[in-house]
Amino acid sequence: MLEPPYVFPQRENEDGEILFFLWHRSLTQGVPLVGALLDLWQADASGMYSQFNYQEPRYNLRGRLYTDDKARFEVRTVVPASYPIPTAGPTGSLLRALGRQPFRPAHLHVKVSHEGFEPLRTQLYFKGDPLLDSDVASAVKASLIATLTKHDSAADLEKRGLNRPYFTLVYGFTLRPRIG
């Protein structure tokens, strides 16, 4: 569980461009999702995942957090990279036979839950990623593509206390009411 201000756990000198992921639109049937629990995880700037490609730190670029009293959140992380799925064995043979590439486009994993609503588990992709149309998992949907906005003006950097450009990603989720 992360505490505000939300920052993903990161290795010392974590590679990658700074990303602030924000959720500022959070109404479901007119109800703001105050206190929604988000479970977020991602690959690093090399396309590697903690607990899969490396073990330490254990929760690198992973975290759980709650939306605030205005149903918003902001978390600092890095822009993830695309990566190939393993191609050894039958999976690789099938991909080669189909003439398919093994890469996933860069994405963020998101699980959102809130009392009275069905949980949502999804991934967010980035507009302009060249792999969007050829995702080996065929998981990209137009509604899951969001825009990374680069901020490099002196005023933007000063506002965040940074000395290098950063990106923002703004996305809002809608949850279905739980039936029964």
- At 104-150, the pLDDT tens digits run 999 999 999 999 899 999 999 999 999 999 999 999 999 999 999 99
- At 147-163, the pLDDT tens digits run 999 999 999 999 999 99
Q: What is the pTM of this model?
A: 0.93
- CATH of segment(s) 6-170: 2.60.130.10
Q: What is the 3-state secondary structure (H, E, C) of 66-115?
A: ECCCCCCEEEEEECCCCEECCCCHHHHHHHHHHCCCCEECCEEEEEEECC
- At 6-60, the pLDDT tens digits run 999 999 999 999 999 998 765 566 678 899 999 999 999 999 999 889 888 889 9
Residue with tokens 């990623």: 129
Percent of the chain with pLDDT over 90: 81
